[in-house]
């Protein structure tokens, strides 16, 4: 059975998923965007923040996304930002394939995360991620440019957005460069919590 390829991100009401400047990641506005997940029991445990945290539907969704993911793919910009900010025990605990133009030896972290650097394109990264995922799914972790490359190539099966009640005003839009003429969506689920509205879609060619 072929792994499902998906992405799952938090997005502001005006369509942004990250600030423009990498140094603003983990800043106040980004923390506001991610507030729905940072207080969860699952997130606290996964990031080594200690016991406690909120339970409920938000927690269930975050845990389910993690459980289904057998391998992740990300772009170099996301990796560069995360390399400086992730804890030593990076929060993936699976193989991660970084799409880049810069060759580098695999980087293994405690807890089961190994970053592999793929220099021959998104198709190669996906082939390797599918093999590594086994009977689980492949998550396109980000950033927006990498997600949209996979969307435009017809390689994404489904996605979910946690719509946070915050306005960014500027930054990196998720769908800025999507080829809307090639991508059609079917909404599969909507769930609201006090902190976010969770939207799920399947993707098909237009």
pLDDT tens, position by position, 1-30: 588 999 999 999 999 999 988 777 778 888
Q: How confident is the model at residue 50 (pLDDT cuts 50, 70, 90)?
A: confident
Provide the whole-model pTM: 0.94
Q: Which pLDDT value is given to residue 1?
A: 59
Q: Which pLDDT value is given to residue 97?
A: 98
Lowest mean pLDDT among 49-53, 68-72, 74-78, 199-203: 49-53
Alpha helix locations (H) across the chain? 28-33, 35-38, 41-46, 57-68, 76-85, 122-133, 144-152
Lowest mean pLDDT among 63-67, 75-79, 80-84: 80-84
CA distance 202 to 186: 5
Question: 88-97, pLDDT tens digit by residue?
Answer: 888 899 999 9
Residue ranges and CATH numbers for the domains of the chain are 5-205 (3.40.430.10)
Q: Which pLDDT value is given to residue 139?
A: 98
- From 110, 131, 121, 144, select the one nearest 19 (Cα to Cα): 144
CA distance 62 to 160: 11
CA distance 171 to 33: 12
173: pLDDT strictly greater than 90: yes
């Amino acid at each position: 059975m072929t792994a499902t390829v998906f992405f799952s991100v938090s997005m502001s009401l005006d369509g942004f998923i990250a600030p423009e400047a990498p140094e603003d990641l983990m800043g106040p506005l980004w923390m506001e965007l991610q507030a729905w997940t940072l207080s969860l029991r699952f997130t606290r445990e996964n990031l080594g923040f200690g016991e406690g945290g909120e339970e409920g539907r938000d927690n269930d969704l975050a845990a389910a996304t993690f459980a289904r993911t057998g391998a992740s793919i990300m772009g170099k910009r996301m990796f560069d930002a995360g390399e400086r900010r992730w804890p030593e025990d990076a929060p993936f605990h699976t193989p991660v394939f970084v799409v880049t133009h810069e060759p580098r030896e695999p980087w293994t972290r405690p807890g089961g995360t190994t970053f592999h650097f793929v220099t021959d394109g998104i198709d190669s990264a996906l082939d390797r991620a599918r093999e590594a995922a086994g009977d689980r799914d492949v998550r396109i972790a980000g950033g927006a440019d990498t997600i949209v490359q996979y969307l435009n190539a017809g390689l994404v099966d489904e996605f979910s957005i946690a719509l946070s009640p915050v306005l960014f005003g500027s930054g990196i839009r998720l769908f800025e460069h999507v080829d809307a003429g090639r991508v059609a969506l079917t909404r599969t689920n909507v769930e609201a919590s006090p902190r976010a509205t969770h939207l799920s879609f399947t993707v098909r060619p237009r």
